């Protein structure tokens, strides 16, 4: 992860070493998602970087400690996005119904 730098703001009673692990885990998630992540990946896909972060941390706390689960959640969300895009652009699209 050559050219990536991360800053994290924590409270003074927080454990600094586990924060390092959090950063490391996040980078691993990005790496898995983008495949050998580099600076450009994050720049050109910044919204994805945010989405991944939002599956890993919530309100400043770790929400999911399994790499697999985080990546699966992102995958599902991406799938949903793709599906709705194709639905949206197809001719038969009328409106978005709640029931899938």
Cβ(52)–Cβ(33) below 8 Å? yes
Q: Which of 43, 86, 90, 91 binds other proteins (CB under 8 A)?
A: 43
> Would you say 51 and 75 are in contact if contact means Cβ atoms under 8 Å apart?
no
39 near other proteins (CB under 8 A): no
The 3-state DSSP class for residue 22 equals helix
Question: Are the beta carbons of 37 and 4 closer than 8 angstroms?
Answer: yes
Residue 44, φ and ψ in degrees, nearest 5? -80, -15
CB of 93 to other proteins, least distance (A): 10
Q: Does the protein bind other proteins through residue 6 (CB under 8 A)?
A: no
Is residue 16 close enough to count as binding other proteins by CB under 8 A? Answer: yes
Is residue 80 a contact partner of residue 100, using CB atoms and an 8 Å limit? no
Q: Does 54 bind other proteins (CB under 8 A)?
A: yes
Contacting residues toward other proteins, per CB under 8 A: 15-18, 20-22, 24-25, 43-44, 46-47, 50-51, 54-55, 58-69, 72-73, 76-77, 79-81, 83-85, 88-89, 95-96, 98-100
């Amino acid at each position: 992860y050559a050219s990536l730098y991360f800053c994290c703001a924590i409270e003074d009673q927080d454990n600094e070493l586990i924060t390092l692990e959090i950063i490391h885990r996040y980078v691993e998630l990005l790496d898995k998602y983008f495949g050998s992540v580099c600076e450009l990946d994050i720049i050109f896909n910044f919204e994805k970087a945010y989405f991944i972060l939002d599956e890993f941390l919530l309100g400043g706390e770790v929400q999911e400690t399994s790499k697999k689960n985080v990546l699966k959640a992102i995958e599902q969300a991406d799938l949903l996005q793709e599906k709705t895009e194709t639905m949206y652009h197809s001719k038969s699209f009328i409106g978005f119904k709640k029931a899938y």
